Copies of this chain bind each other. A is one copy, B any other.
Amino acid sequence: MAEREVDRSISQTVKAQLALRDQILSGSLRPGERISELQAVETTGASRTPVRMALVRLEEEGLLEAIPSGGFMVKAFSERDISDSIELRGTLEGLAARFAAERGVSARELEPLKECLAAIDELLRQVPISVDAFSSYVTLNARFHAVLTELSRSPPLIRQIDRASALPFASPSGFVMAQSALPEAQQILIIGQEHHRVVIDAIENREGARAEAIMREHARLAVRNLRLALRNRTHLDLLPALALIKTATD
């Protein structure tokens, strides 16, 4: 064991957690595979205590599963797990949108949302959309969803949505990327943008039910498109996290 070089700029626990998550999401650790603490100690550079804390956090996050006899393994997901997770998040975001609408949101608070909307409109003007623009789209879309979630002003709900987004394929970025594998990707993006426009309008007019309904529809569409995308296995290597997690279960 060479002298441990400690990076004191960041907690060892967080460092280990990030490193392990990266290994899982990048596929270095296959689903179903048992994670060896000792090996994790070597690859992350932290010692066993922080590594164990990171493992516990990743288990709570849903990326790992505790093995009854001890230790942890990388969790494996079925196709239905994935679509359920997306629908779940859509339901929660629907509730967030309803809360935002019912509780009232000032014009000023709605501003960031409208900025995202306008920026995405700008991007979609390109036909077909470039790779760079698509990448910007992914970022802006994630931001839109995050801001919308915050507008619910409900810490318990925000917390739960964050948890639901922890699984990479259930995060806004994740399923947008899945949809991009489809030939009609551009059309899908435009429809999604329409949903965004409606939800803002519904919140502005305090129509809680409408705001909720559109977010759920947004998610249901994503699930449908994901199903289609999973048929086109050829494009699936575009989606790092999704493809890796999924392929192991079948």
Contacts and interface: CB of A to CB of B under 8 A. Distances in A.
Contacts of A95: 87-88, 91
Contact of A56 (B57, B99, B155, B170): B57
A42 interface: no
A159 B84 contact: no
A183 interface: no
Nearest to A70: B11
Identical chains in the assembly: 2
Interface residues of A, number: 28
Given A91-B92, A91-B95, A160 B163 contact: yes
A60 to B, nearest CB: 4
A210 B194 CA distance: 28
A4 interface: no
Nearest first, the 3 closest Cβ-Cβ pairs linking A and B are A60-B60, A84-B154, A85-B156
